[in-house]
Amino acid sequence: ITRPAAGAFKEFMIAVGRHYGSSVQAFSIWNEPNHPAFLLPQWNSNGTPASPRIYRGLYQAGYEGLKAGGLAHPRVLFGETAPTGYDTVNVHREKSRAYLHDVAPLAFMRSALCLSPTYKRIGACGPLTISGYAHHAYTKAVNPHYVEPGADNVTIGTLSRLSRALDLAARAHAINGHVPIYLTEFGVQSEPNKQLGVSAAQQAEYDAIAEHIAYDNSRVAAFSQYLLKDDPLGGAPGASVHGGTVGFQTGLEYVSGSRKPLYFAWPVPLTVSKSGNRFSLWGLVRPTTGATKVTVLVRAKGSKSYRTLKTVTTNSRGYWSFSSSKQGAYWRVRWKSPAGLKYEGPPIRAY
């Protein structure tokens, strides 16, 4: 991971292009190159980012390798960045610890594209052709709408920062315009993770809220769920830079294989937003391949049973939404597939 040879990476990508080029729609270069567990050095001795320029060389080598491997116009995603970090570090004060910090994703992007903090071209770098920007918009154990401090950090609640940054980079002719965002890795941590985990019930609610945020951002082309099954518990956040394991508890299932509420929520995510005396409901029937009908249920405060609130028809992609003044404590959805399979989401609260 320390200063990988761009030439060797190009040779590798030539082989990848030859072997997989006819069956893969898009490629993405590296994983979290702004994180010291995956690329080193992250920082120069003067406290400025070092990893962005290393990554730029790898991206260019990978792109050229795919072309040499037979793909005339390869679709390649740029970035794959981790969500938070620093713009600069103080090596004099922190000594060797300074080199183990992440670079903030937007600071990383600007430096990799040879842009100043105000998105002006610097140096002699030419523009890069990218088919999308890949990002991992993880957040803390908070409501996904949480606004992460630091203007160059991009969690799910500050996704618009990335949209704007891409527009500014395109305006500076560092990349092509209207670049879509691919959330290639995302998940909400649940207990038993003590540092970043919420309850299993909140995980299902927060994951759907995060997907709703992504849906509302017209630049987002993909929203991915990481993991299917939890990792074993690892060390505290940051342990990976010392050679340890962190372990993600973002799965639909516990490490034992038993199912979380998110297992049942993932096919039919639901969000309920309260404003005054009205509730806005939004959801998706993920298994459908066209318009379908889904039943939305509500449970009144103090009641033990659910009543049908509305049977709603989705659009052709399975999305639906409506508003209601019906008061409730919990909501859930039911859907029956054309093959007769029954889906029922977990109880969801209003936020």
Cα–Cα distance, 203 to 191 (Å, whole number)? 9
Contact present, 278 and 324 (Cβ < 8 Å) = yes
**What's the Cα-to-Cα distance from 58 to each of 11, 30, 94, 112, 125, rounded to whole Å?**
11, 8, 29, 11, 14
- Edge-to-edge strand list for the sheet holding 342-344: 307-313, 293-299, 330-336, 342-344
Q: What is the DSSP-derived secondary structure letter of residue 230?
A: P
Instruction: Please report the pLDDT score of residue 239 as a whole number.
Output: 82
Instruction: Please report the pLDDT score of residue 242 as a whole number.
Output: 80
Cα–Cα distance, 203 to 148 (Å, whole number)? 19
**Phi and psi angles of residue 61, each rounded to the nearest 5 degrees, phi first:** -65, -40
Burial class (CB in 10 A: 0-12, 13-18, 19+), 240: middle
Label the pairing between strands 181-183 and 27-28.
unpaired
Residue 298 pairs in a beta bridge with 307, 331
In this prediction the pTM is 0.96
Contact present, 136 and 82 (Cβ < 8 Å) = yes
Cα–Cα distance, 134 to 246 (Å, whole number)? 22
Cα–Cα distance, 143 to 60 (Å, whole number)? 38
Instruction: Please report the pLDDT score of residue 246 as a whole number.
Output: 85
Cα–Cα distance, 345 to 351 (Å, whole number)? 17
Instruction: Please report the pLDDT score of residue 194 as a whole number.
Output: 93
What residues in the chain have per-residue pLDDT under 70?
none
Quick: pLDDT tens for 1-55. Answer: 999 999 999 999 999 999 999 999 999 999 999 999 999 999 999 999 999 999 9
Instruction: Please report the pLDDT score of residue 89 as a whole number.
Output: 98
Instruction: Write down the residue that tokens 């320390």 correspond to.
Output: 2
Instruction: Please report the pLDDT score of residue 237 as a whole number.
Output: 84
Tokens for 347, please give them: 């109880």
